[in-house]
């Protein structure tokens, strides 16, 4: 590929080829890890090769100087661990073991960044990839697909540096489409992530956190929004409970050149890992698409929480929505902290302990607005969701409601928010002005009169009156149709008579 650059569409086509080769042969919950890790290894190898050639040109044949310089690179690639060196052994009987050893060595050489990232991936697994002969065929095919001459991920061959990270997220989206309910564990639709980033509007110099970060796409959208403002001055933090998904998030950050992101592995509610000065870290922006109504979220430990996150009340054992909300609100800064969280609609109106927590959040003047989203936006569930925005130091106690349930483009299996729809929601939210059948600014008194029930139809009237029916006109139309039917019947009978048939 002399002088050519690879584009987004070409990368996607190559990755889909690899995806198709595994689909049906390997469990869907597993094969995403094999393909995404291989993409990461190909990326590390191509970047390493590019830098090696660049430094070799500078230092000539001085291998010692080249070696010392390469040791200071962003990632280190030990001998025998590059994609091409693995590919050269593709016909070996122990191919899975060869790949595993390469991953172990890469992780060991980059411990500060990659420790544990490859821990859950086993290319020599009989349970996932079949017996030796079948496994070797599948792995060889996978290597062949990634050896496509067009898949040159060297920076000097990639026109736009975002192409690689975007391809990684594209592939995660493809896996999510077939993962059913498990999809929400690691994937937030990009348009929802973009909308949330618009609503919380992260600024240069701010710390941004996602306590249920999945594969990290929402964090990346928030980081990119700061970059669009012309600044690289921001810090990303996240925590993810599922180890394999945590590994995806770590790789996702590196592929988007957000190397300084701190992504922790663990249960955010039971064991928050982002701790500073013996309490939870504080962030200007906290965003999340947490599990909907999580059962057994850790209620048994909530009352004795060492960080006092649940002083407004303990959510029910079978619904952890307000556990995540309570955590998020307690981890924003006291001057200008903002929260953007995706929730099921029940969060807006359920009573008992949830109703009490909701009332206290409103009385403390933390709730800024609610956006009702269309149904069928999220993989794994068709129910409509909402985005809730919390803010500290608000100028008044009003709450802004938007009913965007009809703001979508229909897809074959999923609905989607288009750019025009995202723009309308964001612009309307910023203006905080009433829009007939779409948006309403409710006063605190109205909220209190409704007993702190936030069900959107209570505030945004979307009822469409049906047109009055003119009975006389309907009767005329019926009479006209009856006459037409009679005329057609006579014509059919005459044709049958001509053909000698029965009328």
Average pLDDT of the chain? 90
pLDDT at 240: 97
CB burial of residue 196 (10 Å; 0-12, 13-18, 19+): buried
104 lies in the same domain as 204: no
pTM of the model: 0.88
Contact 209, 283 (CB under 8 A): yes
Tell me if 93 is assigned to some domain. Answer: yes
Task: Give, to the nearest 10 degrees, the angle between helix 28-59 and helix 8-22.
Answer: 140
Half-sphere exposure of 439 (CA within 13 A, CB side): 20
210 and 127 part of one domain: no
For 251-280, how does the pLDDT look when each residue is reduced to its tens digit (9 = 90+)?
999 999 999 999 999 999 999 999 999 999
Residue 170: the pLDDT is 83
Give the pLDDT band (50/70/90) at residue 12: confident
Collect all residues with Cβ–Cβ distance below 8 Å to 103 and sequence separation of at least 6. 37, 41, 118, 121, 123
Decide if 53 is inside a domain: yes
Torsion (CA) 330, 336, 337, 341 in degrees, nearest 10? 130
Q: Please tell me whether residues 89 and 225 are part of one structural domain.
A: no
Residues β-bridged to residue 409 = 416
Residue 293 lies in a domain: yes
Q: Point out the domain boundary residue: 113, 137, 166.
A: 166
Per-residue pLDDT, 4: 64
Average pLDDT for 427-439: 97
Q: What range defines the domain where residue 98 resides? A: 8-166
Backbone φ and ψ for 344, nearest 5 degrees, come out as -75, 155
Half-sphere exposure of 452 (CA within 13 A, CB side): 19
Is 451 in the same domain as 490? Answer: no
Whether the pLDDT of residue 376 is over 90: the answer is: no
Give the torsion sign (CA, 160, 164, 169, 170). Answer: positive
Six-digit token string for 297:
């979220």
Radius of gyration of the chain, Cα coordinates, nearest whole angstrom: 28
Whether the pLDDT of residue 2 is over 50: the answer is no
Domain co-membership, 23 together with 97? yes
Secondary structure (DSSP) of 367-426: EEEEEEPPTT-STT--S-EEEEEEESS-SSS-EEEEE-TT--B--SS--B--HHHHHHHH
CATH assignment of the domain containing 339? 3.40.50.150
Distance of CA 472 to the CA centre of its chain: 55
User: Is residue 401 one of the residues assigned to a domain?
Assistant: yes
DSSP 239-271: EESSHHHHHHHHHHHHHTT-TT-EEEES-TTTS
**pLDDT tens by residue, 208-245:** 999 999 999 999 999 999 999 999 999 999 999 999 99
DSSP 155: T
Q: Which of 136, 166, 196 is the last residue of a domain?
A: 166
Q: Are residues 14 and 146 in the same domain?
A: yes
Query: Which tokens is 175 given?
Result: 């896996």
**Residue 464 belongs to a domain:** no
The region of weakest confidence among 100-104, 172-176, 442-446 is 172-176
Structure tokens at 256: 């988007």
Number of domains in the chain: 3
């Amino acid at each position: 590929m002399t002088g050519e650059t690879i584009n987004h569409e070409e990368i996607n086509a190559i990755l889909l080829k690899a995806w198709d080769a595994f689909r049906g042969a390997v469990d869907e919950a597993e094969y995403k890890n094999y393909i995404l890790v291989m993409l990461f290894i190909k990326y590390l190898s191509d970047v390493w090769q590019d830098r090696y050639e660049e430094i070799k040109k500078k230092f000539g044949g001085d291998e010692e100087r080249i070696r010392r310089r390469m040791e200071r690179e962003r990632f280190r690639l030990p001998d025998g661990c590059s994609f091409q060196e693995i590919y050269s052994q593709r016909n070996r009987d122990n191919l899975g073991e060869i790949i595993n050893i390469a991953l172990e060595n890469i992780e060991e050489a980059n411990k500060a960044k990659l420790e544990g990232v490859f821990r859950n991936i086993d290319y020599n697994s009989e349970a996932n990839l079949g017996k030796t002969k079948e496994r070797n065929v599948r792995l060889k095919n996978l290597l062949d697909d990634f050896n496509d001459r067009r898949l040159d991920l060297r920076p000097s061959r990639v026109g736009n540096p975002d192409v690689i990270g975007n391809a990684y997220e594209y592939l995660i989206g493809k896996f999510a489409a077939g993962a059913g309910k498990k999809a929400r564990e690691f994937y937030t639709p990009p348009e929802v992530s973009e909308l949330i980033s618009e609503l919380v509007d992260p600024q240069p110099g701010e710390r941004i956190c996602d306590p249920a970060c999945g594969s990290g796409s929402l964090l990346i959208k928030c980081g990119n929004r700061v970059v669009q403002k012309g600044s690289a001055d921001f810090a990303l933090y996240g925590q993810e409970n599922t180890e394999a998904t945590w590994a995806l998030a770590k790789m996702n950050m590196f592929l988007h050149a957000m190397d300084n992101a701190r992504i922790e592995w663990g249960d955010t509610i039971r064991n928050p890992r982002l701790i500073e000065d013996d309490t939870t870290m504080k962030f200007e922006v906290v965003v999340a698409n947490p599990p909907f109504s999580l059962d057994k979220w850790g209620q048994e430990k909530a009352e004795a929480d060492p960080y006092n996150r649940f002083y407004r009340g303990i959510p029910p054992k079978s619904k952890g929505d307000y556990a995540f909300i309570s955590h998020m609100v307690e981890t924003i800064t006291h001057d200008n902290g903002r929260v953007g969280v995706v929730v099921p609609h029940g969060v807006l109106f359920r009573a008992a302990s949830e109703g009490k927590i909701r009332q206290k959040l409103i009385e403390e003047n933390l709730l800024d607005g609610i956006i009702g989203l269309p149904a069928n936006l999220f993989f794994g569930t068709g129910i409509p969701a909402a985005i809730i925005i919390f803010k500290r130091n608000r100028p008044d106690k009003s709450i802004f409601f938007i009913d965007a349930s009809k703001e979508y483009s229909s897809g074959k299996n999923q609905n989607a928010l288009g750019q025009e729809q995202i723009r309308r929601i964001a612009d309307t939210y910023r203006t905080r002005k009433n829009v007939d059948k779409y948006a309403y600014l409710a006063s605190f008194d109205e909220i209190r009169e409704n007993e702190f029930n936030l069900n959107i139809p209570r505030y945004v009237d979307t009822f469409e009156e049906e047109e009055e029916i003119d009975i006389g006109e309907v009767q005329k139309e019926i009479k006209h149709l009856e006459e037409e039917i009679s005329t057609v019947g006579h014509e059919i009978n005459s044709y049958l008579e001509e053909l000698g048939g029965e009328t």
